[in-house]
Homo-oligomer: A and B are copies of this chain.
């Protein structure tokens, strides 16, 4: 078969002139039809003899498949979209890594899009995904977009992450926000804090759900939480905390609705010169690297970030197998990691729960 490759060396010289070597050139070099080459490459029914010839020809010609052509003809893009607000948010960074690992493992490409919580950008990227004829999309939408999202309209399945849509509409994998918020509140109460406030992102359902969870948990104890809604950025959070700390009545503890807000909170508290947790306790979501090391260590809810990404990808694949099955929502539990930022409240009135200690 080596002879086969050599006898038509005119072909090889011809290759030097051609821009790229295609399946046609391989076929000629192997002395078979293009269909056979395609089948040999794609795992179709081909005799061992010809398959060997084709493989040799591929190696000899340096053939590289053209994925665009393959996608066009086969109508399979083997591509998924991952649309998040900002990859620099460590939560999304970790999720994206999991999604990409899972995607590449099944031979799929990932297109990453940053929307900056901007519904216009979201719409633009969704449209791009349609033009790419993506196999599916994993999406963390703003509240605005989540409401008017119709997967059947889009032409590809969607799995929501971190943020849920109206129930029953779309597959989603989210944190149990009510449970997690409750964990935080119970912990703070047990540590002796009573005047508990919170800063919540105002663009996502997640911020709203965590807020609702905090309110509910507080009410169970006959307490009220003071909540403020802000853009989910460190900058907005820092400013909000600085403002808050200049007001006459101040909280004993603050809860942040995600890692970026928590970061801003800590900066704001430091800038205002309050000591943590003596003057202000801090707690929040997302066990980012730095939370362990900052100040006295920050108490957080750890999300199973890698698991969320992997699960989202798994759900997408399942949905592709069975497009008809009913939408399901996977709810994962967060884990409370208590650290110094919520140490026992010293100034707590000795009367109440503090006695239990």
Chain B residue nearest in CB terms to A104: B113
Chain A interface, >50% SS class: helix
Residues of chain B with a CB closer than 8 A to A100's CB: 87, 112-114
What's the number of copies of this chain in the assembled complex? 2
Size category, A interface = 35 or more
Residues of chain B with a CB closer than 8 A to A88's CB: 90, 93-94, 97
Residues of chain B with a CB closer than 8 A to A86's CB: 97
* Bound-complex Cα distance A66 to B104 (A): 23
Q: Mark A32-75, 1 if CB is under 8 A from B, else 0.
A: 00000000000000000000000000000000111111011000
The residue that A294 contacts in the complex, of B87, B97, B290, with Cβ under 8 A, is B290
* Bound-complex Cα distance A9 to B270 (A): 68
* Bound-complex Cα distance A202 to B96 (A): 26
Nearest CB of chain B from residue A37's CB, rounded to whole Å: 16
- Let me know if A273 is at the binding interface, CB within 8 A: no
* Bound-complex Cα distance A270 to B340 (A): 15
* Bound-complex Cα distance A290 to B289 (A): 8
* Bound-complex Cα distance A267 to B293 (A): 8
Nearest CB of chain B from residue A71's CB, rounded to whole Å: 4
Residues of chain B with a CB closer than 8 A to A28's CB: none
The residue that A112 contacts in the complex, of B90, B112, B270, B288, with Cβ under 8 A, is B112
- Let me know if A110 is at the binding interface, CB within 8 A: yes
Residues of chain B with a CB closer than 8 A to A97's CB: 86-88, 114
Binds B, one of A129-137, A172-180, A219-227, A241-249: A129-137
Nearest CB of chain B from residue A117's CB, rounded to whole Å: 14
Residues of chain B with a CB closer than 8 A to A77's CB: 68
Chain B residue nearest in CB terms to A234: B289
- Let me know if A348 is at the binding interface, CB within 8 A: no
* Bound-complex Cα distance A131 to B130 (A): 22
Residues of chain B with a CB closer than 8 A to A130's CB: 64
- Let me know if A109 is at the binding interface, CB within 8 A: yes
Nearest CB of chain B from residue A249's CB, rounded to whole Å: 27
Chain B residue nearest in CB terms to A295: B293
Nearest CB of chain B from residue A274's CB, rounded to whole Å: 14
- Let me know if A266 is at the binding interface, CB within 8 A: yes
Nearest CB of chain B from residue A25's CB, rounded to whole Å: 16
* Bound-complex Cα distance A127 to B133 (A): 23
Chain B residue nearest in CB terms to A112: B112
**B111 and A111 contact, CB distance less than 8 A:** yes
- Let me know if A161 is at the binding interface, CB within 8 A: no
Chain B residue nearest in CB terms to A121: B104
* Bound-complex Cα distance A154 to B270 (A): 51
**B293 and A67 contact, CB distance less than 8 A:** no
18 contacts between A and B (CB under 8 A): A64-B130, A64-B131, A65-B131, A67-B133, A68-B68, A68-B71, A68-B72, A87-B100, A96-B112, A101-B114, A109-B111, A110-B111, A111-B111, A263-B289, A267-B293, A288-B290, A290-B290, A294-B294
What 6 A-B pairs come out closest when comparing CB atoms?
A: A290-B290, A293-B294, A68-B71, A68-B72, A67-B131, A69-B72
Interface residues of A (CB under 8 A from B): 64-69, 71-72, 77, 86-88, 90, 93-94, 96-97, 100-101, 104, 109-114, 127, 130-133, 234, 263, 266-267, 270, 288-290, 292-295
